Amino acid sequence: MGNRFTDKLQRFHDLGDDGAAALVAATSRPRKFAPKRDLIREGDRPGPVFVMLDGWAVRYKILPNGLRQVLAYLMPGDCCDLHVGLLAEMDHSIQTITRADVATIDRIEMDVILDHHRGVAKAMYLAQLVDEGTMRAWITSMGRRSSIERVAHLMCELYIRARAIGLTTEMSFELPLSQLLLADSLGMTPVHLNRVLRELRRTGAMTLKRGSLLIEQPDLLVQIAGFDENYLHRRLRRAA
Amino acid sequence: MGNRFTDKLQRFHDLGDDGAAALVAATSRPRKFAPKRDLIREGDRPGPVFVMLDGWAVRYKILPNGLRQVLAYLMPGDCCDLHVGLLAEMDHSIQTITRADVATIDRIEMDVILDHHRGVAKAMYLAQLVDEGTMRAWITSMGRRSSIERVAHLMCELYIRARAIGLTTEMSFELPLSQLLLADSLGMTPVHLNRVLRELRRTGAMTLKRGSLLIEQPDLLVQIAGFDENYLHRRLRRAA
DNA sequence: CGGTGGTTTGACTACTTTCAACTTGGGTGG
DNA sequence: CCACCCAAGTTGAAAGTAGTCAAACCACCG
């Protein structure tokens, strides 16, 4: 009865039948986007809330010198900040990676839903807290993890997130990310990333090839990454 | 009639007399902390919302190997996530840097205030969006700026934030951050940070010395940093 | 007046980028 | 169906950046 968006939120907090229905209705007219299409750009005035019903996207920034930094991945079910409409302008851009189905929820409608369905509001606040935790984990990776640890850590994160929404099969999953994109996510050059991937393959921990990741030794990968999934807050507060 | 917390929020959105009064009342019993005291640690169950009425604090994470990464600075008037109470456990720690006056707002009380004073809710959402924008800027710095650009960028940010709350005098301000702390913020070693600071001094852009920053050539510093303050969202949306 | 934490410096090492060339995999148009 | 093309991936060598280790220095505090 739901879609990937409500399925994700439902795992955070009970939306209630009417809450879920309201969200489904609000996202019932998704638009299809080709790969590498900007949904919104830095400097634009924020519009509606974007909801990824299918496909992947990235948040990113371009520096004056043309370098790009990826800030976050949006996977099916993810959405952007619910209150983003309060801002005068975007401080980053959002672009599709793959073909994608993207719904938009008007700011007013979003407010109405949040006001009338406390379960939806709680679930969305939790989703936002997880996104923030993820940003903190990225800052930590960039600042204090070696390049091999950083790569391993991101792969662990993406695997856990993909698994949570049913995109994994055994120890592998579709990962539609080019090495260029990964390099821009991890603050390294594509050349160096390529060498790090080779090293991870050599250790037997994982193999990334065009479009999919195979995790051969999960324990080893987790150990290399120093991965602790607490920041994804999959353990929820009881009696919230 | 307000305090540093309400003053800050008021700049984002009109709190209304009763909204401001409610916040002042809620933060009227601050507790004093010595420097380097943890307010809460990673793994702890989140409690009330912390509000910095005076003094500085940092959010940080410690890695398994003992390395520390600073995630954000909390300056007077700043507070931590309003919905943090929804989480089962903290994904990072918060520690005072200086002596500090910290108020706490109980989760229930916070919810009541947000429900009854829409202006307060809007202002706090905006504050949170700015904090998120700041995290994105940090990720960008760590990933794609050189060390000298990174240092310059952080100094620009801290100056702008300090100025917004009236802590600056001309082109200098009190900056109670050790080089060790700055190094842990910028993902570099204290030794290297020290050399970068020397280089910035040499160019004549700025001089950091024990406890205060003097910006000698603002234009040069901004240029070195590639600083664009849009992410601090000081330009607000009209008719919000 | 000696500690203690913080800052500064030098020499050496390790890691990462740069640059440039070459390979591969898919898709497209003839 | 195949030749071509382009984006993406891979590799080597040289250069540059940042980390490590160790010691000295400094300022403030008790």
Considering only residues A137 and B240, tell me which one the structure prediction assigns the higher pLDDT: A137
> Could you tell me the CA-to-CA distances from B218 to A53, B141, B168, B225 in Å, in that order?
46, 19, 14, 10
Which of A208-212, B42-46, B127-131 has the weakest average pLDDT? A208-212
User: How many angstroms separate the CA of A206 from the C1' of C24?
Assistant: 21
Per the rule left: phi > 0, alpha: psi between -120 and 50, beta: everything else, A169 is beta
Alpha helices by DSSP H, chain B: 4-12, 17-26, 107-116, 118-144, 147-164, 179-186, 190-203, 218-225
Per the CB < 8 A criterion, the answer to whether B159 and A159 are in contact is no
User: Which of A45, A135, A233 lies closest to B87 in CB terms?
Assistant: A233
What pLDDT sits at residue B210?
Answer: 83
Per the CB < 8 A criterion, the answer to whether B216 and B204 are in contact is yes
CATH 1.10.10.10 in chain B, residues?
A: 146-232
Chain A residue with CA closest to B69: the answer is A140
For residue A239, what are its two tokens? 């009696």
Per the CB < 8 A criterion, the answer to whether B162 and B168 are in contact is yes
- Judging contacts by C-beta atoms under 8 Å, the chain A residues touching residue B92 are 133, 136
Per the CB < 8 A criterion, the answer to whether B226 and B145 are in contact is yes
pLDDT at A190 over 90: yes
For residue range B111-140, what is the model confidence (pLDDT) as tens digits?
999 999 999 999 999 999 999 999 999 999
Residue entry with tokens 């905006």:
B126
pLDDT at A62 over 50: yes
End-to-end CA distance of chain A: 25
For residue B120, what are its two tokens? 């307060």
- Judging contacts by C-beta atoms under 8 Å, the chain B residues touching residue A81 are 129, 132
Q: Which CATH architecture has domain B4-131?
A: Sandwich (2.60)
Helices H, strands E: what count in chain B?
Answer: 8, 11
What pLDDT sits at residue B213?
Answer: 97
Nucleotides of D under 7 A from a protein CB: 7-13, 17-22, 27-28
For residue range B70-115, what is the model confidence (pLDDT) as tens digits?
999 999 999 998 899 999 999 999 999 999 999 999 999 999 999 9
Burial category of B238 from C-beta neighbours within 10 Å (exposed 0-12, middle 13-18, buried 19 and up): exposed
Residues in chain A, total: 240
What pLDDT sits at residue B240?
Answer: 43
- Report the pLDDT averaged over residues A6-12: 96
Burial category of A174 from C-beta neighbours within 10 Å (exposed 0-12, middle 13-18, buried 19 and up): middle
User: Which of A69, A87, A144 lies closest to B143 in CB terms?
Assistant: A69
- Nearest-CA distance A170 → chain B (Å): 28
State chain B's mean pLDDT as an integer: 95
Q: Which fold has domain A146-232?
A: Arc Repressor Mutant, subunit A (1.10.10)
% chain A with pLDDT above 70: 98
CATH 2.60.120.10 in chain B, residues?
A: 4-131
Residue entry with tokens 């600056």:
B168
Residue entry with tokens 């909204």:
B19
pLDDT at B16 over 80: yes
Nucleotide C5's nearest residue (CA vs C1') is B178
What pLDDT sits at residue B238?
Answer: 58
- Report the pLDDT averaged over residues A179-186: 98
What pLDDT sits at residue B200?
Answer: 97
User: How many angstroms separate the CA of B191 from the C1' of D23?
Assistant: 13
- Report the pLDDT averaged over residues A100-111: 95
What torsion, rounded to 10 degrees, do the Cα atoms A131, A11, A77, A15 define?
-110
Per the CB < 8 A criterion, the answer to whether B183 and B189 are in contact is yes
Considering only residues B136 and A239, tell me which one the structure prediction assigns the higher pLDDT: B136
What pLDDT sits at residue B84?
Answer: 92
> Could you tell me the CA-to-CA distances from B161 to A96, A161, A173, B89 in Å, in that order?
33, 35, 43, 29
Contact A87 B233 (CB under 8 A): yes
SS3 annotation, chain A: CCCHHHHHHHHHCCCCHHHHHHHHHHCCCCEEECCCCEEECCCCCCCCEEEEEECCEEEEEECCCCCEEEEEEECCCCECCCCHHHECCCCCEEEECCCEEEEEECHHHHHHHHHHCHHHHHHHHHHHHHHHHHHHHHHHHHHHCCHHHHHHHHHHHHHHHHHHCCCEECCEEECCCCHHHHHHHHCCCHHHHHHHHHHHHHHCCEEEECCEEEECCHHHHHHHHCCCHHHHCCCECCCC
Residue entry with tokens 């410690």:
B62
Single-letter amino acid, residue B230: N
Chain A residue with CA closest to B125: the answer is A83
For residue A65, what are its two tokens? 């010198």
> Could you tell me the CA-to-CA distances from A78 to A55, A103, B203 in Å, in that order?
10, 11, 45
pLDDT at A219 over 50: yes
Q: Regarding beta strands B57-62 and B38-40, do their DSSP bridges make them parallel or antiparallel, or are they unpaired?
A: unpaired
CB A87 within 7 Å, strand D = no
Burial category of A100 from C-beta neighbours within 10 Å (exposed 0-12, middle 13-18, buried 19 and up): buried
- Report the pLDDT averaged over residues B50-65: 96
Say how far residue B190 (Cα) sits from the centre of its chain: 21
% chain B with pLDDT above 70: 98
pLDDT at A239 over 80: no
- Report the pLDDT averaged over residues A71-93: 95
What pLDDT sits at residue A89?
Answer: 95
3-state SS class at B226: coil
3-state SS class at B212: strand
Per the CB < 8 A criterion, the answer to whether B231 and B133 are in contact is yes
For residue B114, what are its two tokens? 């947000």
- Give the integer Cα–Cα distance in Å for A64 and B197: 23
What pLDDT sits at residue B39?
Answer: 96
For residue A30, name the pLDDT band (cuts at 50, 70, 90): very high
What pLDDT sits at residue A240?
Answer: 43
Q: Collect all residues with Cβ–Cβ distance below 8 Å to A116 and sequence separation of at least 6.
A: A22
For residue range B150-188, what is the model confidence (pLDDT) as tens digits?
999 999 999 999 999 999 998 999 999 999 999 999 999
Per the CB < 8 A criterion, the answer to whether A69 and A18 are in contact is no
For residue B237, name the pLDDT band (cuts at 50, 70, 90): low
- Give the integer Cα–Cα distance in Å for A48 and A103: 9
User: How many angstroms separate the CA of B42 from the C1' of C5?
Assistant: 26
